[in-house]
Structures are given as C-alpha cells and as structure tokens.
Amino acid sequence: MDLFRNRNFLLLTLSRNISRFGDRFTLAALLILVVEMSHGSPVDVALISAASLAPSALLGWFIGPLVDRLERRTSMLFADWARFLTVGLMFWAPNLLTLIVLAFLTNAVWEFYRAAYQAVVPVVVGTGQELTRANGLDQSLANGIDVVGYLLVGLFILVAGVRPAFLIDAATFLASALLISVFPVRVKAPGQAPGPGYLTELKEGMRAAIGQPVSRTLLVQIATACLPIGAFNALLILLLPDVFHVSATLYPYLPAVQGVSMVLGGMLMTRYPNRVGRRHLINIGLAGSGLMTGLLGVVPSFGAALGLYFMLGFCNIAFLVPLLTWYQQSVDGAVRGRAMAIYAALTSLSLLVSTLLAGPLALAIGVAPAVVLSGALFAAVGLAGYLARSTRSQPEALAEASGP
C-alpha cells in the first residue's frame, strides 16, 4: 500500500510529529534556561538531561505489560493529556529542582506513547518492506520537523524569551490528542485478557527481546552506542561557548542542520529500503557517527561544526532506521509493546549512565576532550558490529512478524 494513501499511518505519524515539533521548543528552552540558571555548569546541564532520560531507564521495563494490556490508542491519549499539563507547568517553574521534577514526569508518561506508537505502526503498514519505508518516512518527517522546529525556536526565544517556548509545546499535545482521538484503529495485543499475570507478562516480554540472537545483538549494539550519544548530547551546548566561542542561544541551529540531512537520508531509506544490507548500514552509520562526533570536539569554528552536524545526520539515519526496523520484525506482535518498551528502557538506561558521567568527566578533562572520547567509543561500536555472528546474513525476503 502507498503510505501516502494510508490514512491511519498518516494520522499516527502526524500526531507523533506535531508533538515532536513542540518538543523542540521544550528541549531547547530547558537547556538554555539551565545554562542561564547554573552559569554554564556541566553538572547541572547533565542533571536536566538525566531527568529526561531517567523515566525510560528506570520505569520503561515495567510499562510494556501495561501498554500491551491497554488499548494502544488509550495509552497515547493518556500520554498527550498528561504532557500538556506537565510541560505547561514548566512556564512557572521557579528553580532548577522544579524543572528536573517536571522533566522527569513529562518523560515518564511519554513512555506510554512511545511503546504504543512503535507497537501499532507494524499493524497499520505491515511488517515487510513497507515497515522499512514507514520508518524511513517517519524519520524524514520527524527530522523535517526538527529543522523547522529548531529554526523557529531559535527565533522565538530571541523575540519572546525562553519560558514562553514551553506553552508552544503544551499546545501541540492538545493537537496530537485530537488526531489520536479520531484514529479509527483500536489495537490491543491478542491474548491479554484476563492474561497470565503481570510478572509473567513481563518475563514474556524479556524473553521476546533477548531470546532471539538477532534481537539480542541489536539491543546490545544500540545500548552500547547510546553510551557515547548520551555524553555527547549532554555536553553539546557547552561546546558553543567553550570551543566555538559563540552564544549558547545558537544551539538550536546545530540540530536544525542535522535535521536537513536526516530528512534526505530518511527519504533515501523510503525509496530504496533494501539496496544495502542492513548490517552494513548499521555498522557504517555507527562508525561514521563516531567520526563526526569526535571531530566536533576539535573543529575551530561554529561554521565548521554546522558542516559536521550535517554529515552526522546522514550517519545517524543510516543506523537508526534499519536497526529499529530489524528489531520490530524480530519480535512477535503479541508482545511487541513490551519488547519496544524494553528497547526504549535499555537505550535510555545507557543514555542516563553516560549523561550522569559526562558532567564529572568534562570537569576532569575538559568539554572538548570528553566529546572526542565519546566519538572514539561511538566509532568502535560500529566496527565491533562486524564481529557479531547473528547479523552476518541478510535475507533477501524479510520475514513477516506475526500478530498485530
């Protein structure tokens, strides 16, 4: 089926991306506000990043069975309404501690949306090549939103200030909830009522995620890659004043430039989903991302950093789309909500650990050397991926996952 004629897929991805547009406002505003409050402290910047990651890392393991028990549209609606409240309250947050608590709560309810969304997409588009195309198109749209969102938030903050950006994000959750409310496909994983019990379902999800050699390898690879990603993301905004010698308010333009290349890369994934073996795309993408990340720690100017960030987008999309698609296809539909929650929880745990370590590491060796070290680890993960036996063979025809 042509994805552009698939009304249900368009409703889903529009819901996801309209709230993602608002999220760019909150992400940029949070980092800039914390830099202003803490006078550029690496530890405080790492703490606000950690608060956003902690819910998935600590709670995501247990959310999966709930998502599989609930009708998945209900999970997404709950997340949208709850985030409308918590993000709106950030406008009045008087101090860093309040921002940390609200960031934690916002991302805790986001886990319900993410697991439900990723579990329902294969139902709407199928689990063959269309799933690769859908993930590629979704990444293109998402990163197109990133470009527009980060460019606009940069201008918005210059004109209106930092705090009003939170109100823009809150409004997008209302729009997302409206789209989900008219989404006609009600999906609940089969066999969940009355169900074997919460703990049994949790164990079934763990077995689905790590029981197959391919899914286990993919989880290890993405979790390891998230270690340098977390450290780099926590320190990126500090590169602007420390290395590039520009204002931290220019931060949104780096991810905006990256978004342009990720849109282009996602379009290529959509048009040519299987021209290159998934294993090669994943490993080359990871190694290339490491090279671009490491160079960002040594380039002399903000202009050079923009160029590297553009290339980083292509490298990111090269491993993100095939890795996620392969993992979705490797698990059964009846437990896919749990498996996707575990995927998110494991990656967030890795991001959380490295984010918390990034602040002390930057204080000990400097921001730029810490970024270079992150890039070296990132590249090593990609090169090590060629040693994994379970992903060495690339089937000509993709296996169909069962169930919704």
* CA 225, 235, 305, 16 torsion-angle sign: positive
The b-or-e profile of 181-194 (16+ CB within 10 A means b, else e) is eebeeebbbeebee
Neighbours of 340 (CB within 10 A): 31
pLDDT tens, position by position, 52-93? 888 878 877 777 677 777 777 888 899 999 999 999 999 999
Does a structural domain hold residue 205? yes
pLDDT at 280: 85
Which range, of 87-91, 152-156, 189-193, 305-309, averages the lowest pLDDT?
Answer: 189-193
Does a structural domain hold residue 368? yes
Does a structural domain hold residue 222? yes
Element (H, E) at 177: helix 164-181
Does a structural domain hold residue 299? yes
Q: pLDDT tier at 394 (50, 70, 90 boundaries)?
A: very low
Does a structural domain hold residue 231? yes
Rounded average pLDDT over 379-391: 83
Does a structural domain hold residue 23? yes
Q: What is the CATH number of the domain that holds 215?
A: 1.20.1250.20
d(CA 95, CA 98): 6
Rounded average pLDDT over 223-241: 87
User: What is the per-residue DSSP string for 28-61?
Assistant: HHHHHHHHHHHTS-HHHHHHHHHHHHHHHHHHHH
Number of separate domains in the chain = 1
What phi and psi values does residue 246 have, to the nearest 5 degrees? -130, 170
Selected residue with higher pLDDT from 144 and 312? 312
Selected residue with higher pLDDT from 276 and 364? 364
Q: Cα–chain-centroid distance for residue 112?
A: 14
Q: Is residue 236 pLDDT above 70, yes or no?
A: yes
pLDDT at 198: 66
126: left (phi over 0), alpha (psi -120 to 50) or beta: left
Q: How many residues does the chain have?
A: 404
d(CA 277, CA 279): 5
Which residue range(s) make up the domain with 7? 3-182+198-387
Does a structural domain hold residue 189? no
Does a structural domain hold residue 395? no
Question: pTM for the full model?
Answer: 0.69
Which has the closest alpha carbon to 162: 60, 252, 69, 98?
Answer: 252
Alpha helices in 240-301 (DSSP H): 253-271, 278-296
d(CA 61, CA 144): 30
pLDDT tens, position by position, 112-137? 888 788 778 888 887 667 777 787 77
pLDDT tens, position by position, 164-222? 999 999 999 999 999 988 887 665 654 444 455 667 777 777 777 777 788 888 888 89
Q: Is residue 326 pLDDT above 70, yes or no?
A: yes
Contact 317, 265 (CB under 8 A): yes
